[in-house]
Amino acid sequence: MWSLEEVAKHNSQGSCWVIIKNNVYDVTDFLQEHPGGAKIILKYAGRDATSAYEPIHPPDALAKNLPPSKHLGPLSETAAQSVAREQQTRKKTKDELRVEQALSQRPPLVRILSLADMEEVARKVLSHKAEAYYASGADDQITLTENARAFSRFFFHPRVMRPVGKCDPSTTILGFKSSIPVFVSGAALAKLGHPLGEINIVKGAATTSIIQMVSSNASASPAEIIAAAESSQPLFFQLYKNTNDSVAEKRVREIEKLGYKAIFLTVDAVIPGNRENDAKSPWVVEDLERGSVKLYVEGEGPEDGDNVFGTAGGLVINDDRDMTWEKTIPWLRSLTKLPIVIKGIQCVEDAVLAAQAGVDGILLSNHGGRQLDYSLPPMEVLYQLRKQRPDVFDKLEVYIDGGVRRGTDVLKALCLGATAVGMGRAFLYAQSAYGEAGVVKCIRILEREIITAMRGLGAATVKDLKPEMAS
């Protein structure tokens, strides 16, 4: 039972305690191991860090990373009350006030007609930092932009006089039924946008019968997420392989045991991308009006040339940068019977290697344009794969993600042979704007757009979508 005075004494690199949800932790030894760096912890040394900790860590992060001896126990009741009072009476930052107002002015959900409407609302209700993290791409964001523009280079050749009165947009992914050929692609830190974070998504996916691929970097733990799912609801897991094989093995076994149905091994983000918009964005925006945020805020921003990788820097610090086809796939196969999908294939040659490696699927992805600028858009890679190596589509399932905004985008990918299309940011935005209901709405919009476009194309089922319909 600690008093605030006692905790406050440990406010330095030599002895650093922090309070998280009214419990006191000694993180002195952990400072150097913290993926996000020591500095961000030291900012809260000797005091309450809950509001900074929660949106970017799953609740079990402390338990996993800190030995029990460093769990120093709860605050005294007086201290806890004092923390709560301080939290309540704390003067809100301008950004917090702006977000509060934006939330109160959201249009009713029924007025949201497209994913663009949804994104518009979301970008208004997100904190400055959350928006920068969600929206940013690598370097000059060329790939981020081209991922979407790639779809606009394909036009339809619709067929008429075909019966489309009944139109069924459902499909299966790795044998699991999905109401539309769309799945949730792994996207981290959903709690930055909404207190319930990934839970909003898993519930919305349940309601609409689509499949969620859960990120290793989710702000809720894999266990929490699957606990929120319906019993029959399939979930996939996006694995960032730890550089330590035994840590990685433990993760894989945990995931399979929890009931996840497939593993998407992420190979397109072994290092952080150069996301300048994220790196430039301060965590606290004070004295600055939205829209006129200055580039440089006193006391914020990167402080040396090596620490410019923004939020992503911390997330991938322990990822294995030395995976190989020869070593990593057999290793993973030996650990699990789950289907294995390689997430992050970016050229035809690697798609062929993946087929040779015997994996169950590949997700053509450049990590949403967040890693290497000028990586070819997935839709272009899909087009080249269809043209150069159509045989690959017979050996494994092919998915793409990145840049999908409309039902027509989904259908273009399916025409060229994709089994389904992943979307990440769209769901982060939807849950940020309206929580679980936003996720459901997002899928309903896609479903309506997909059915409308299938009928316009003369396709009654996804099997009717053919390469000659889009070019």
Residue 291 or 299 having the CB closest to its own copies: 299
State yes or no: residue 449 binds its own copies (CB under 8 A).
Answer: yes
Element (H, E) at 264: strand 262-266
State yes or no: residue 212 binds its own copies (CB under 8 A).
Answer: no
Give first-to-last CA distance, the chain, whole Å.
68
433-459 b/e with 16+ CB inside 10 Å = b?
bbbbbbbbbbbebbbebbbebbbbbbb
Please tell me which residue in 53, 134, 240, 399 is annotated as part of the active site: 240
State yes or no: residue 304 binds its own copies (CB under 8 A).
Answer: yes
Chain positions 72 to 91 lying near its own copies, rule: CB under 8 A, are: none
Chain positions 127 to 146 lying near its own copies, rule: CB under 8 A, are: 139-140, 142, 146
- In the residue annotation, 319 being an active-site residue is answered as no
Residue 27 or 362 having the CB closest to its own copies: 362
State yes or no: residue 156 binds its own copies (CB under 8 A).
Answer: yes
Length of the chain: 471
- In the residue annotation, 367 being an active-site residue is answered as yes
- In the residue annotation, 240 being an active-site residue is answered as yes
Q: How far is the CB of 46 from its own copies (least distance, A)?
A: 26
State yes or no: residue 208 binds its own copies (CB under 8 A).
Answer: no
Give burial (CB, 10 Å; 0-12/13-18/19+) of 28. Answer: middle
State yes or no: residue 194 binds its own copies (CB under 8 A).
Answer: no
Q: 122 near 439, Cβ under 8 Å?
A: no
State yes or no: residue 159 binds its own copies (CB under 8 A).
Answer: yes
Q: Determine the size of the site formed for its own copies (CB under 8 A).
A: 81
Residue 9 or 294 having the CB closest to its own copies: 294
Q: 211 near 239, Cβ under 8 Å?
A: no
How far apart (Å, rounded) are the C-alpha atoms in residues 304 and 307?
A: 6
Which letter does DSSP use for residue 469 in this model? G
Candidates 67, 76, 68, 69; CA nearest to 22 is 76
Q: How far is the CB of 156 from its own copies (least distance, A)?
A: 5
Give me 107's structure tokens.
Answer: 């249009």
Residue type, 115: L
Interface pick for its own copies out of 32, 104, 324, 334 (rule CB under 8 A):
324
Site string for its own copies, 261-290 (x = CB under 8 A): ------xx-xxxxx-x--xx----------
Chain positions 370 to 409 lying near its own copies, rule: CB under 8 A, are: 371-376, 380, 406, 408
What residues act catalytically? 240, 268, 367
